[in-house]
Amino acid sequence: QVQLVESGGGLVQPGGSLRLSCVAPGTDLDAYFIGWFRQAPGKGREGISFISSFDRTTNYADSVKGRFTVSRDNAKKTVYLQMNSLKPGDTAVYYCAADLMVHGDRWSFPDEYLFWGQGTQVTVSA
């Protein structure tokens, strides 16, 4: 069992930045593919970013491309989501998810991931 913990959410003004972190206490995330998802009130869970385990291939949804950057620090056993130029439409609960194998063309599908964190709230508002 892998327990994921997200942190770094909060309230930010439009145009601001936040950096989310995803860790798994007691587990080395090096071998895991990591996806970032978000869910706004009344909407489904949207896959927004992905980073592979071995070659650090990344993918992004069109809605965040050019504004968000995913990275991983294996020494710190942490995966990050740097979010810049935030918009009110980015308001959501953000989740990280992990699995040992994720098919590349399905990285944004929630059912590709076995392990999930509890989420961290991001609110973008003036």
| Residue-level pLDDT at 75 | 85
| Residue-level pLDDT at 104 | 78
Give CA separation, 114 vs 83, 105, 111, in Å.
25, 17, 7
DSSP designation for 84: -
pLDDT tens digits for range 58-68? 999 999 999 99
| Residue-level pLDDT at 36 | 98
| Residue-level pLDDT at 81 | 98
| Residue-level pLDDT at 63 | 97
| Residue-level pLDDT at 55 | 79
How far is CA 25 from its chain centroid? 17
| Residue-level pLDDT at 78 | 93
Collect contacts of 114-117 with beta carbons under 8 A, ≥24 apart. Answer: 114/2, 115/1, 115/2, 115/3, 115/4, 115/24, 115/32, 116/4, 117/3, 117/4, 117/5, 117/6, 117/22
Reading the block at residue 113, the tokens are: 């991931």
Regions of the chain short of the pLDDT cut 50: none
| Residue-level pLDDT at 114 | 97
pLDDT tens digits for range 40-60? 999 999 999 999 987 789 999
